[in-house]
Amino acid sequence: MNLNANENANQESGKTMTTSVQPSSLSSVASANPQRTESQRAQGTGLETRGIHAWFGKNHVLSDINLDFTAGSVTALIGPSGCGKSTFIRTINRMHEFIPGAAMAGEVLLDGKDVYAPGVDVTKIRLQIGMVFQKPNPFPSMTIGENVLSGLKLAQLKVDNKDDLLEECLIRAGLWTEVKDRLDTHGGALSGGQQQRLCIARALAVRPQVLLMDEPCSALDPGSTLRIEDTIRELSDTMTIVIVTHNMQQAARVSDYTAFFLSEGGPGHMIEVARTSEIFSQPKDQRTENYVTGRFG
């Protein structure tokens, strides 16, 4: 979120996707600290949306969303059901267009390049912008290991050491210690919370710059939820995370920035975006205050 004009000053630009995936140092995972300052954040390329509109048929569901996501930050999208949060994140990795009758307008800039530009390979966009869904969806007949590495296989990416990558992704997703002795069991045999972390590990294996999460904890018990929240905090050291959540406390706990969406009878639009501490202590807009204090929605 570009609330501070200097925040993005040192970002590298023009980083393109590599076709070879290398395990990175695990030390950054171990040193993850939720109390980071802006200068300690991962500096990378940012994600921006410019004038995003979305339609289902003639129904205008989302209007003029302009958001800058600072690299290495967690942004929570909150708002009542039907306000366009999920539709918005689905425009970011070009999933919205696969719904029959769906249309969109505007730009989604990753590294300054529009993901909707002519000639852009949608599959490659999804490697850079991963997604975790509300319901855990591992491939049930694949083993845990196969699940994690499935993205590489589908995208025909080469990796030097699959075992190292597998371990790294499962560690970063907070699942390694629970499954390291049974990587050959099927993904469907895990609990709901473990399956969700497996899906996160799977998303990480292709080294996305951005991870979109659509209510990733809404089907999970409180313990699994906390583990996934820990995972989100740790991952945000190295990537940009956008999370849709209906759980206010979750938004307050895990995110650096919070954006409030509302439809008010028309297309969903953004009412307010600010640092999360501000949204939950002193929101500027009365509608935001009414929503976060539970007075409507």
Partner 1 sequence: MALIRSVFQDELDGVSQSLVDLTQMVSASISKATTAILSADLKLAEEVIATDDHIDTFQHELDARIIDIIARQQPVASDLRALVTALRMSADLERMGDMSHHVAKIARLRHPGGAVPAELHPMFQAMGTAAEKIATKTGVVIATRDTVMSLEVERDDDEMDKLHRQLIGTLVDPSWKHGVESAIDLTLLGRYYERFADHAVSVSRRVYFLVTGTFA
Strand-strand pairing, 47-56 and 102-110? antiparallel
DSSP 228-290: HHHHHHHHTTTSEEEEE-S-HHHHHHH-SEEEEEE-TTSSBEEEEEEEHHHHHH--SSHHHHH
183 DSSP 8-state letter: T
Q: Which of 122, 160, 280, 285 is the binder for partner 1 (CB under 8 A)?
A: 280
Q: Which is nearer to partner 1, 59 or 293 (CB)?
A: 293
Tally of CB atoms within 10 A around 178: 17
CB atoms closer than 10 angstroms to residue 265: 5
- Rounded to whole angstroms, how far apart are CA atoms 116 and 125? 9
| Interacting residue with partner 1 among 160, 249, 264, 266 (CB under 8 A) | 249
Tell me if 283 contacts partner 1 by CB under 8 A: yes
Q: Which one among 248, 269, 275, 285 touches partner 1, defined by CB under 8 A?
A: 248
Amino acid at 161: N
- Check residue 294 for interaction with partner 1 (CB under 8 A): yes
Q: Which stretch binds partner 1 (CB under 8 A): 57-65, 98-106, 175-183, 248-256?
A: 248-256
Site stretch for partner 1 (CB under 8 A), options 120-128, 156-164, 238-246, 276-284: 276-284
Each residue 192-231 as x (binds partner 1 by CB under 8 A) or -, in order, gives ----------------------------------------
Alpha-helical segments (H) within 1-130 = 27-30, 85-92, 122-128
Pick the closer one to partner 1 by CB: 135 or 295. 295
In the chain, what is the straight-line distance between the N-terminal and C-terminal CA atoms, in Å? 25
Kindly state whether residue 273 participates in binding partner 1, applying the rule CB under 8 A: no
Q: Is 277 in the site for partner 1 (CB under 8 A)?
A: no
Question: To the nearest whole angstrom, how small is the minimum distance from the Cβ of residue 284 to partner 1?
Answer: 10
Contact residues toward partner 1 (CB under 8 A) are 248-249, 252, 280-283, 289, 292-295
